[in-house]
Amino acid sequence: MPGYKLAIDGPAGSGKSTISALIAKRMGWTHIDTGAMYRAVTLQAIELGIDLNEESAYRFLESSKIHYDFDKIYINDRDVTEAIRSESVTNHVSLVSSFPYVRKKLVDLQKHAAEYGNIVMDGRDIGTVVLPHANLKVFLTANVEERAKRRYKENLKKGKVTQIEKVIEDISTRDQKDSTRKESPLKMADDAIILDTTHLTIDQVVNKIIELTGQKEKEHGV
């Protein structure tokens, strides 16, 4: 696997996707948001009206094409970047991602996508399953109140008013489901570096991780 591979894992709202996107931009690397892929499968399953509890119903994946291009995600060439952030997708994604068949399909895609080049990939099982030989593994955490506050502000920016208590509840439920599932649960890799971001700004986290990679950042504007 030529190139630098950076694996970033962590629970809901720990800032993985934002941080990973910024690192990719500054380093000139490719960012792969694996959560977006699980969300895309969930969206498609909901739209097809399949029984979400039935693993064999996900066979539709045999003939669907999910791909990633410059932080936009497509299902069968339809841009679903916005649609995958809906409440209904968020509420069902933990269930969908618990099926071994779905995981196998997406993990294969992710491994393939990371084969060449410098990659920063974020998710729940990147350091443990997808890129076990990554050059650097970071596990981002933050206390649940802080994570809920971030999600709350993100929603507000999109014009969505939510109740902070409800966001805390949703995040805690998803954490619980993701950490206790049988197949590839959210778990820190033994060789990962843990970074508690509760009291850190986004820039501080980005700088810290770039420092940890030991790689030189690309000059801005070049």
Question: Of the candidates 12, 32, 41, 73, which one interacts with ligand CDP according to CB under 6 A?
Answer: 12
Q: Which two tokens stand for residue 87?
A: 């409440």
Please tell me whether residue 168 binds ligand CDP under the rule CB under 6 A: no
Query: With CB under 6 A, what is the number of residues at the site for ligand CDP?
Result: 15
Contact 54, 134 (CB under 8 A): no
Residues 59-68: contacts with CB under 8 Å, at least 24 apart: 59/101, 61/101, 61/102, 61/105, 66/37, 66/40, 66/41, 66/106, 66/109, 68/32, 68/33, 68/36, 68/37, 68/113
Please tell me whether residue 150 binds ligand CDP under the rule CB under 6 A: no
**The pairing of beta strand 72-75 with beta strand 78-79:** antiparallel
Please tell me whether residue 13 binds ligand CDP under the rule CB under 6 A: yes
Contacting range for ligand CDP; rule: CB under 6 A; set: 9-17, 57-65, 138-146, 194-202 = 9-17
The contact mask relative to ligand CDP for 93-112 (x = CB under 6 A, - = no) is xx--x---------------
Question: Of the candidates 124, 136, 150, 167, which one interacts with ligand CDP according to CB under 6 A?
Answer: 124
The contact mask relative to ligand CDP for 28-47 (x = CB under 6 A, - = no) is ------xx--xx--------
Determine the Cα angle at 179 with ends 124 and 188, to 5°: 50
Residues in contact with ligand CDP by CB under 6 A are: 12-13, 17, 34-35, 38-39, 93-94, 97, 123-125, 174, 178
